[in-house]
Structure 1
Amino acid sequence: MVQPDDQPKALVFDDPGMRLNNQLSSSRGELSGPEDGSSSGEQRNHFLQKIQHSIRKLWKMAEQGQHKVFNDPIHGHMTLHPLLVKIIDTPQFQRLRNIKQLGGAYFVYPGASHNRFEHSIGVGHLAGELAKALHATQPELLITERDILCVQIAGLCHDLGHGPFSHLYDGTFIPEARPGHEWRHEDASVQMFYHLVERNGLQQEMERYGLVLPVDLTFIEEMIAGPLKKRQGEPHTETVDEWPYEGRSKDKSFLYEIVANKPNGIDVDKFDYFARDCHHLGIRNNFDHLRYFRFARVCEMDGQKHICSRDKEVNNLYDMFHTRYSLHRRAYQHSVNNIVQFMIAEAFVKADEHIQIEGSGGEMFTLSTAKDNMEAYTKLTDDVFNQILNSSDQGLDEAREILQRIITRNHYKLLAETKCKPSQIKMFPRWKEALLSDLQDDRLNPEDFVVLDSTMDYGRKDKDPIEKVYFYSKRDPTRAFHIPRERVSSLLPTCFSETLIRFYCKKTDEEPLERARVCFGYWCEDRGLPVPRMERTRAQRGPAEDPHGQGGGQEAPQQNPEGEQVLADGN
């Protein structure tokens, strides 16, 4: 097992200046002669010091000359370490140029053309900026240049494992193509990172710039995907005092909160995609991550060091989480975006066995298995969309027809939508089966309909996200504490999650569409869900209009299980 980096070490470059410096220091006694205090000995020592200083200065200038400046529309001019540039200039990283950051949203929002490539560079930049800000504010944390470089690499490489159209691949396609197969893009990011390092011979470059292998590789891996023990499923009994990470010891625990903050979700990954996605979508971003950097501070709580914010910033953090919700509501979970993503995934499932990708050793892989071989996965990008669309292979006819409907804006039609409570979402699979059965009873083909659920929240499902955030005060900047919501404002939301159930049809004939809407309305009514706006309740229609003959002719509003009235317009 790799041992953690117990003692902080300064970043040591493998450079001629340092080596000459050591040689000159070791031979200084010989050159300066006996320590007789003679002026000749002092002059020699002074001369050697000037040589050492000049060589070190020239070497530092050469190192700075290898840094590259990237002009980014979000963060301006970003100066990146030469090791980061070497990682960027690899086929495995360049692949991200051809993977859309927001998947199918580009078919809904014309500005959403940005890719994982620029987002990853932005996260790497912000990771370094936050680490440097903490070091400047609290030098006692002993954050080394080596720590900062590792954090930057983790930020740069955290999304290497995304497949075509980003979350569409791991969130929709893989569960359909390989049911029961558990897989996360973070795990693929780790695999692709090691593949990138090995294929491009970057081990020596990493050591040249001061990294210690393999401990720093483990540190980078853990920042991307979490503790090794939990991911490998090793049997162990975790206690409060147990430190699950191996790359760094407990006194550097705050470093794990920079790229992917597992406890509360406040990390530089979100800072970049909030700013970048809002910019390209034309949505206002109310959160200023530079202000967060200014007030970020590390405090100890329960034996671990955490990144904390000033207590006066609590409302700004609520705004940040609300921005996340707004992006999901207005873009990521947009009704048209949802069905476009579903259609792309549906086409990929139909095309799965007909797309062959060569991996290592000449072995062939399909769309759904390419992720198991990094050589093949490197070749899998959004380009597969056009590969299917422009293919003459008859085996791809069904998939091609679906994609053709997307680019001609003839996507599946939204018939209705309703909301359900967080406590009801676990019943959705059973409810979905019942709805499709009702459609069949009403002489409609269930295969012509799609039922999707979309959950939008503040980042912690139905929990208040600020509950896990630590703060400090100006009076005592060393003590971390939580802020109860009643101390913030009485106007804060009481519900932090909602789920929409959307009902789509693949056909365009109006008569069956109307019958399907009626059926969906009754389905909602029977389960105490808000009835879609275009529907009247069964009581209002009466038995003559009830296709299932269940009308009771009651005039009173229906009651859901919570005792609330269900109105015909869904309000």
Structure 2
Amino acid sequence: MLLKWVGEIKDPIHDFIRFTEIERSIIDSRILQRLRRIKQLAAVELTYPGATHTRFVHSIGVMHIVGLMTGRLAELGYLTNEEVQLARVLGLIHDIGHGPFSHVFEEVLAKKGLTHEDIGRWLLRESELGDLVEEQGFSRAEVASIAFGGITRGRAELVSKVFWGPLSPDTMDYLVRDSYFTGVGYGRVDIGRLIGTLDLVEGELAIEYPGGLTSFEDYVLSRLQMFNAVYFHKTVRAANVMLARAMEWADAHLGLTELKDVDFFLKLDDCYVRTALITLEPYDDLSRLAKELMERLEARRLIKCVYERPVMGRGDLLASVLSRPGVRGKLEAEIAEEAGVSPEEVFVDAPSVPSIPLRPGGESVQIRFFEARGGVKRLMDESEVHSLILGLARYVDLVRVYALPEHREIVRKACEKVLGARPPGG
């Protein structure tokens, strides 16, 4: 791979990460620099104090990993240097649309039918970043369509497959970086081995069998373990739910999702929103509750999990919370009425909400394997891949209900009346 490097960044995960001139101009742009002020894991630091890393350093890491993946494919003759450079640019900018506190802001955006990918497209269209991309000979529309989840055909189709495929450079960096900074010991992925066994066979990205199987099994298990230990940890979710509701309830007054212009959005970082919520002058019940939640969060007086139950099937009442987010409010109101508290003092949480950054049950981890015999590469059927781990690594959906500490017992009893008794250990 013959990209011309002009500098390097020392990263605690990947060591030295080199960058090109176009990458330097993007890194130094206002759009990317804003990500230094957005924590990768929102309020996770209240449970894992080391988790203060930012969306900026994650973006640098994704640029590096996708560069390794496309560099491997370039060495095999499937991609050009220009396409490798395109992939690295995508890695840099894929998260520019994240709002304050990263995925937690997604829950507020979802009320308006928006995602951070929508914001990313808007920023690329309206800001100087789009001009930078075009000055380097890339199509603004093509970059947006790949980086923010569109369908791409033609020369960039393979780049898109790498970026959005089951062996995701985004997820790989997420796992190893979040594991390192939380200190949980999961998320250990042998990125080099995975990439070293990657090939294009019969038009599909595939991993060599059996050489890459163990590394892919580790990747799948890491996703599951990080979900359980970090992303959907009871206390982590308590803090993030409080943050999401506070932003949601104050949005009408603070205009967090109005997206008036690029300059306003660039001010929307963690510090801006935290300060706005703490200094909020209540003007109605919801804004008062928003400020109260933020004050509780600042003092680490978190809401408490009073009920937890696995979803047993489509006929289960709680299954509708996973598939239809609007059901959550109705369920909260029913539980609140039974408990004799305000609906705003009951919090139903499910792994399908937008503020969960990684849900193993919601993302495909199926990848093709290939076998090489006598110089001939052949895609294998799923039945030919022998892996006990891949067969057992299944996620069980859980729905939880939280309450203010002072309402813990009455809301717990109300939940059992409305939703049924909790299973042992639930």
Give the TM-score of the pair, scaled to structure 2: 0.86
C-alpha distance after superposition, 1:103-135 (max 9, x if no partner):
121222101100110000111122112111222
Contact conserved, 1:100 with 1:113, CA < 8 A, in 2? yes
Contact conserved, 2:117 with 2:148, CA < 8 A, in 1? yes
The residue aligned with 2:163 is 259
- How many angstroms does 1:458 deviate by? 8.9
Contact conserved, 1:101 with 1:166, CA < 8 A, in 2? yes
Of residues 364, 368, 374 in structure 2, which corresponds to 1:470? 368
What is the alpha-carbon distance in structure 2 between the residues aligned to residue 463 and residue 173 of structure 1? 22
Of residues 449, 460, 466 in structure 1, which corresponds to 2:346? 449
- Give 2:82's aligned amino acid: R
What is the alpha-carbon distance in structure 2 between the residues aligned to residue 117 and residue 444 of structure 1? 41
Computed over aligned residues only, the root mean square deviation of the Cα atoms, in angstroms, reads: 3.0
Say whether residues 1:515 and 2:410 are aligned partners: yes
The residue aligned with 1:53 is none
Say whether residues 1:375 and 2:263 are aligned partners: yes
Say whether residues 1:386 and 2:290 are aligned partners: no
Say whether residues 1:202 and 2:132 are aligned partners: yes
- Give 1:202's aligned amino acid: L
The residue aligned with 1:174 is 109
Say whether residues 1:92 and 2:35 are aligned partners: no
Say whether residues 1:69 and 2:8 are aligned partners: yes
Name which structure has the greater RCO, CA cutoff 8 Å, separation 6+: 2
Residues 292 and 368 (structure 1 numbering): CA distance in 2 closer, same or farther, change over 3 Å? same
Name the SS for the 2:350 alignment partner. strand
Contact conserved, 2:311 with 2:319, CA < 8 A, in 1? no
- How many angstroms does 1:347 deviate by? 1.6
Residues 183 and 478 (structure 1 numbering): CA distance in 2 closer, same or farther, change over 3 Å? farther
Pairs within 5 Å for 1:216-231: 217-227=140-150
Contact conserved, 2:320 with 2:327, CA < 8 A, in 1? yes
Identity of aligned residues (%): 23
What is the alpha-carbon distance in structure 1 between the residues aligned to residue 248 and residue 358 of structure 2? 31
- Give 2:197's aligned amino acid: F
Pairs within 5 Å for 1:81-230: 81-136=20-75, 138-139=76-77, 141=78, 143-170=79-106, 172-175=107-110, 179=111, 181-197=112-128, 201-202=131-132, 205-206=135-136, 211=137, 213-214=138-139, 217-227=140-150
How many residue pairs get aligned? The number is 412
What is the alpha-carbon distance in structure 2 between the residues aligned to residue 353 and residue 435 of structure 1? 21
What is the alpha-carbon distance in structure 2 between the residues aligned to residue 465 and residue 484 of structure 1? 13
- Give 1:515's aligned amino acid: I
What is the alpha-carbon distance in structure 1 between the residues aligned to residue 359 and residue 402 of structure 2? 27
Name the SS for the 1:202 alignment partner. helix
What is the alpha-carbon distance in structure 2 between the residues aligned to residue 431 and residue 147 of structure 1? 44
Q: Which runs of 5 or more residues in structure 2 are unaligned? A: none
- How many angstroms does 1:316 deviate by? 2.6
Q: Which runs of 5 or more residues in structure 1 are unaligned? A: 1-9, 12-59, 228-243, 356-365, 526-530, 533-566
The residue aligned with 1:410 is 301
What is the alpha-carbon distance in structure 1 between the residues aligned to residue 164 and residue 297 of structure 2? 34
Residues 485 and 110 (structure 1 numbering): CA distance in 2 closer, same or farther, change over 3 Å? farther
The residue aligned with 1:539 is none
Name the SS for the 1:318 alignment partner. helix
- How many angstroms does 1:432 deviate by? 7.0
- Give 2:320's aligned amino acid: M
- How many angstroms does 1:147 deviate by? 1.0
Larger Rg: 1
- How many angstroms does 1:331 deviate by? 0.8
The residue aligned with 1:245 is 152
Give the TM-score of the pair, scaled to structure 1: 0.66
